[in-house]
Amino acid sequence: MTTKPARLLSPITDVDIRLLRVFRTVVECGGFSAAEVELNISRAAISLHMADLERRLGLTLCRRGRAGFRLTDEGRLAYEAAMRLLAGLESFRGEIATVHGRLRGELNIGITDNLVTMPRMRVTHALRGLKRMAPEVRVNIRMIPPNEIERGVLDGRLHIGVVPARRALPGLGGFPLYEEESLLYCGRGHPLFERPPEAVTRAEVESADAVAPTQAQLRHELNNTATATDREGVAFLILTGCYVGFLPTHYARQWVERGMMRALRPDDYRHSLEFHAVTKKGAQPNLVLERFMEILSGEEEMAADAPA
């Protein structure tokens, strides 16, 4: 597709904003077909909107065809810029609503997978507090890998993220939320599952096929013959009865209580991981985020008293 020179040096209009929102949804859904339900318009209408946006920007934003949907390099840059623009508009809307005595706008949160079973769910309590304080705020939660969460917070697509405390990235600040313990598990049907716990040796554990989570840094050397990008993938492989792997104790509890998993040598194979709430340093003031952070940072006592 040949595009014309960029025309969007003139003031941005409501039509441009509407088309950028369509573009955002198409990218986040992964294509035109998946975006139909989210946008409640036909695939043909989405195609027309995208073609109109490409003409207005003078850019080829994506490729679509038998090989599927993918962004061009120009499209990725335009998407990131659009996210910053739309986030700024939401922040403006929220601040003006506050002037009128109402807290409104959006709160976009990125969370690492499978934290909902944590006994001390400070995020849940804080979301409840925000809903009671500001019922008109729209909350959007995305479950994505930690590196994507950090990028989203830095470029303005996300207001706040919950990620493992791995390294301090320039531009991000925050505070600790959770300390998560993980043990090494095997599933029912695994050769080590029926063995008496005291009879399982370290050599047997370390020679067993293991699944390694790609996002975690573990201290233990295992025979990693499989990988998984998230905890659910690790659980799938453990439940085959063919692999051992680390899972958070709060997440594995559901299978342990049903006799489908058991921990192996918990005194030897255990590690902990701290999770932080992170926001962008020096970001534009956002009253919705400020109120949420105030509730979240004061939730420790309430969360400690919450039922597991």
Give the tens place of pLDDT for each residue, 147-193: 888 988 888 889 999 988 877 678 888 888 888 899 999 999 999 99
β-strand partners of 138: 106
- Full residue range of the structural domain in which residue 240 is found: 179-273
Residue 7 lies in a domain: no
Tens-place pLDDT, residues 221-272:
789 999 998 888 999 999 999 999 999 999 999 999 999 999 999 999 988 8
Q: Is the dihedral of CA 302, 158, 161, 145 positive or negative?
A: positive
DSSP at 255: H
Query: Are 291 and 144 part of one and the same domain?
Result: yes
Measured torsion, CA atoms of residues 101, 139, 72, 77, in degrees rounded to the nearest 10 = 40
At residue 104, φ and ψ (nearest 5 deg) are -135, 170
When pLDDT is cut at 50, 70 and 90, the band that residue 302 belongs to is: very low
Residue 139 lies in a domain: yes
Query: Are 184 and 267 part of one and the same domain?
Result: yes
Query: Are 31 and 52 part of one and the same domain?
Result: yes
Residue 248 lies in a domain: yes
Tens-place pLDDT, residues 267-298:
999 888 888 899 998 877 788 888 899 898 87
Residue 102 has a pLDDT of: 67
Say how many domains are in the chain: 3
What's the token pair of residue 52?
């109109």
Mean pLDDT along residues 187-204: 92
- Which of 77-86, 107-116, 185-194, 280-289 has the largest mean confidence? 185-194
Query: Are 287 and 139 part of one and the same domain?
Result: yes
Cα–Cα distances (Å) from 31 to 23, 182, 233, in that order, read: 10, 37, 24
Residue 242, domain CATH = 3.40.190.290
Average pLDDT, the chain: 83
Q: What is the distance between the alpha carbons of residues 79 and 274, in angstroms, rounded to a whole number?
A: 32
Q: Angle, nearest 10°, between helix axes 73-99 and 287-297?
A: 80
Question: Are the beta carbons of 32 and 68 closer than 8 angstroms?
Answer: no
Question: Are the beta carbons of 306 and 125 closer than 8 angstroms?
Answer: yes
Residue 174 has a pLDDT of: 84
Residue 244 has a pLDDT of: 96
What's the token pair of residue 104?
């409104």
Residue 164 has a pLDDT of: 86
Q: What is the distance between the alpha carbons of residues 109 and 297, in angstroms, rounded to a whole number?
A: 15
Residue 305 has a pLDDT of: 41
